[in-house]
């Protein structure tokens, strides 16, 4: 299924179709403020397993992130963070950043059953994704959608994404041409943030 949703004013009817799939443990491909990603609801063990199978990674080895609509979910999944890091997150988000934080026991069980003690948190500056999270009333778990092309690392055309993945996912959301630069990743598990990957975001 290919769902076309306006990137600035998401259509509620089309969003509801995506929500219905997510609520049934479905996986969908969504736009973000960086690249297209594969996502499911955070509480869906089956969805997370499907994503990991699709990207060819074991859950404990997969670089999965939690997509939130704002910072109100931080305490749900993360241990307490210090004030300087929280202020930096408030300055940078919504935006193209992934913050690696110490996870608490509320992270999805599929993570807790592994040795994973950290979780990547994103609040993308993407109206479609944030609308879906708000309507679902639950964060999404996501993985980057890599291209099998040796020239381009990421797929950017939603119609081509649909052609390639329509048999493997429940829906692809067409929110326009995607980017090909991933998020900037910061490890904030220590006292000072550490730059892991320089991506689209520029730190203030």
pLDDT tens figures, 16-32: 999 999 999 999 999 99
Sheet holding 37-41, edge to edge: 2-4, 171-174, 28-30, 37-41, 140-144, 65-67, 118-122, 97-102, 184-187, 194-197
State pLDDT tens for residues 148-200: 654 466 788 999 999 999 999 999 999 999 998 999 999 999 888 999 999 99
107 pLDDT band (50/70/90 cuts)? Answer: confident
Nearest-angstrom CA–CA distance, 89 and 102: 15
Nearest-angstrom CA–CA distance, 55 and 37: 11
The secondary element (H helix, E strand) that includes residue 4 is strand 2-4
pLDDT of 92 over the 90 cut: yes
Show me where the domains of the chain are located: 2-197
Summarize the confidence of residues 118-130 as an average pLDDT: 94
Structure tokens at 158: 């939603």
pLDDT of 115 over the 70 cut: no
What's the pTM?
0.92
Burial class (CB in 10 A: 0-12, 13-18, 19+), 141: buried
Q: Of residues 129 and 75, which shows the higher confidence score?
A: 129
Q: Is 12 helix (H, G, I), strand (E, B) or coil?
A: helix
Which residues are within 8 A (CB) of 56 and not within 5 positions of it... i.e. 6 or more apart?
A: none
Provide the pLDDT for residue 162. 93
The topology under which CATH files domain 2-197 is DHBP synthase (3.90.870)
Tell me the percentage of the chain whose pLDDT exceeds 70: 93
State pLDDT tens for residues 131-155: 999 999 999 999 988 766 544 667 8
How distant is the alpha carbon of residue 96 from its chain centre? Answer: 11
Structure tokens at 121: 């948190």
């Amino acid at each position: 299924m290919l769902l076309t949703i306006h990137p600035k004013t998401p259509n509620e009817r089309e969003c509801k179709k995506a929500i219905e799939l997510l609520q049934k443990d479905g996986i969908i491909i969504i736009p973000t403020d960086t690249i297209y990603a594969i996502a499911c609801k955070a509480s869906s063990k089956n969805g997370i397993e499907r994503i990991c199978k699709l990207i060819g990674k074991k859950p404990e080895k997969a670089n999965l992130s939690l997509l939130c609509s704002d910072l109100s979910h931080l305490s749900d999944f993360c241990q307490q963070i210090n004030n300087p890091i929280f202020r930096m997150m408030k300055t940078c988000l919504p935006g193209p950043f992934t913050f690696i934080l110490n996870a608490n026991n509320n992270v999805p069980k599929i993570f807790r059953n592994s040795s994973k003690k950290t979780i990547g948190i994103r609040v993308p500056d993407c109206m479609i994704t944030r609308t879906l999270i708000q309507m679902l009333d639950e964060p999404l778990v996501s993985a980057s959608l890599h291209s099998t092309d040796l020239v381009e690392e990421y797929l950017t055309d939603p119609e081509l994404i649909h052609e390639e993945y329509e048999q493997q996912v429940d829906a692809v959301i067409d929110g326009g041409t995607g980017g090909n630069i991933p998020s900037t990743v910061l490890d904030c598990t220590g006292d000072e943030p550490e730059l892991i990957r320089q991506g689209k975001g520029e730190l203030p």
